[in-house]
């Protein structure tokens, strides 16, 4: 029996939570495949908790509902994984939708890698593509990443062995999001990435996303720096575990985030260790005009 735990922190998701849960559990999984959806309510003030509680009768042991002990999304993730008994772990938002057939493919791919690596164990993850959906046309139907055959190393697109997940968790409660912390671990540790070129997660874009889109230039800069400074926390905690090359790469990433925050974006163009594609990307921080152009053509620029 292959056991998969999907960790889902929720806060005021009454509009979307039933649909999100159904996308995971209204599927006929193979007999050797067990999925447990662990929902942790983060002090919701709407009907989220009671809606999930009603669904427990339908889904039985496949739906595990908890209340967060301490306020905060990362605390909710930590609460979710604490009691998970599983072989693989996946993260998911309470407003998104899962594609179970792709989840199966991701697990099977990892199983093959585990068998192939029996004599020399090494962590591997499987990643899939993300497609956005939104009532706002400019944010709807975006494929991430757009390049064929490649998955995204971001939140719910990542499936990882439970041993790896437990080495990343608990998430620090003082960092603003789980995505950056997770991606830093996956990019700077010796972890093999296996790509599924299919969409495995439908990511809903709406006004209540933790990562806001379409706000002011100042709000955008503040949000990006809140994410960027997570790199410093990661460096302090894990730099002694890295090769010199990985450490230089991480420090370069930190310098880029600092320069963006200071408004010295053009200085980034002179950094030798930053690729051309990344230099072009960060120019959206150069001015409000560049930022608003990116927002206007968001659908065509994101995911490349």
User: Strands 124-133, 192-204: parallel, antiparallel or unpaired by DSSP?
Assistant: parallel
pLDDT of residue 58: 97
Q: What is the pLDDT of residues 277-301, one digit of tens each?
A: 788 777 776 677 877 877 777 777 7
Chain centroid to Cα 57, Å, comes to: 29
Residue 120: pLDDT over 60: no
Gyration radius of the chain's alpha carbons: 19
pLDDT band at 238 (very low <50, low <70, confident <90, very high): very high
Q: What is the percentage of the chain residues whose pLDDT exceeds 70?
A: 95
Token pair 């925050």 in the structure block, residue: 261
* Distance between CA atoms of residues 20 and 33, nearest Å: 20
| CA-wise closest residue to 51 among 26, 22, 17, 27 | 17
* Distance between CA atoms of residues 126 and 109, nearest Å: 7
Domain boundaries, given as residue ranges, for the chain: 2-204, 217-301
- Residue 128, H or E segment: strand 124-133
pTM of the model: 0.91
Which whole number is the average pLDDT over 118-134? Answer: 85
The answer to whether the beta carbons of residues 239 and 250 sit under 8 Å apart is yes
The answer to whether the beta carbons of residues 152 and 144 sit under 8 Å apart is yes
pLDDT of residue 119: 55
Which whole number is the average pLDDT over 265-278? Answer: 84
Query: Does the domain spanning 2-204 belong to CATH 3.40.50.300?
Result: no
Mean model confidence pLDDT for the chain: 90
pLDDT band at 176 (very low <50, low <70, confident <90, very high): confident
Cα 291–Cα 296–Cα 298 angle in degrees, nearest 5: 85
pLDDT of residue 291: 77
The answer to whether the beta carbons of residues 77 and 91 sit under 8 Å apart is yes
* Distance between CA atoms of residues 184 and 172, nearest Å: 13
């Amino acid at each position: 029996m292959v056991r998969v735990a999907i960790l889902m922190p929720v806060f005021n998701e009454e509009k979307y939570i039933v649909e999100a849960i159904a996308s995971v559990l209204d599927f006929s999984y193979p007999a050797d495949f067990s999925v447990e959806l662990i929902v942790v309510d983060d002090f919701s003030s709407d009907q989220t908790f009671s809606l999930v509680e009603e669904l427990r009768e339908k889904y039985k042991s496949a739906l595990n509902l908890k209340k967060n002990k301490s306020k905060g999304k990362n605390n909710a993730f930590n609460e979710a994984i604490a009691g998970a008994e599983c072989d693989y772990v996946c993260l998911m938002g309470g407003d998104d939708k899962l594609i179970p057939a792709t989840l199966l493919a991701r697990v099977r791919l990892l199983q093959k890698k585990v068998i192939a690596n029996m004599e020399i164990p090494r962590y591997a993850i499987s990643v899939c593509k993300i497609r956005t959906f939104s009532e706002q046309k400019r944010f709807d139907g975006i494929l991430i990443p757009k390049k064929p055959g490649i998955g995204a190393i971001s939140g719910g697109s990542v499936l990882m062995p439970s041993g790896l997940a437990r080495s990343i968790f608990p998430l620090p409660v003082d960092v603003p999001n789980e995505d950056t912390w997770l991606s830093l671990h996956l990019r700077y540790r010796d972890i093999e990435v296996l790509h599924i070129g299919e969409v495995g997660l439908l990511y809903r874009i709406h006004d209540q996303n933790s990562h806001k889109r379409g706000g002011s230039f100042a709000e955008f800069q503040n949000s990006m720096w809140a994410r960027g400074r997570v790199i410093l926390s990661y460096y302090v905690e894990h730099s002694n575990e890295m090769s010199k090359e990985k450490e230089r790469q991480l420090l370069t990433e930190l310098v880029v985030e600092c320069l963006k925050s200071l408004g010295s974006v053009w200085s980034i163009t002179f950094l030798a260790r930053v690729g051309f594609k990344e230099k072009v990307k960060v120019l959206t921080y150069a001015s409000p005009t560049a930022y608003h152009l990116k927002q206007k053509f968001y659908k065509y620029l994101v995911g490349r």
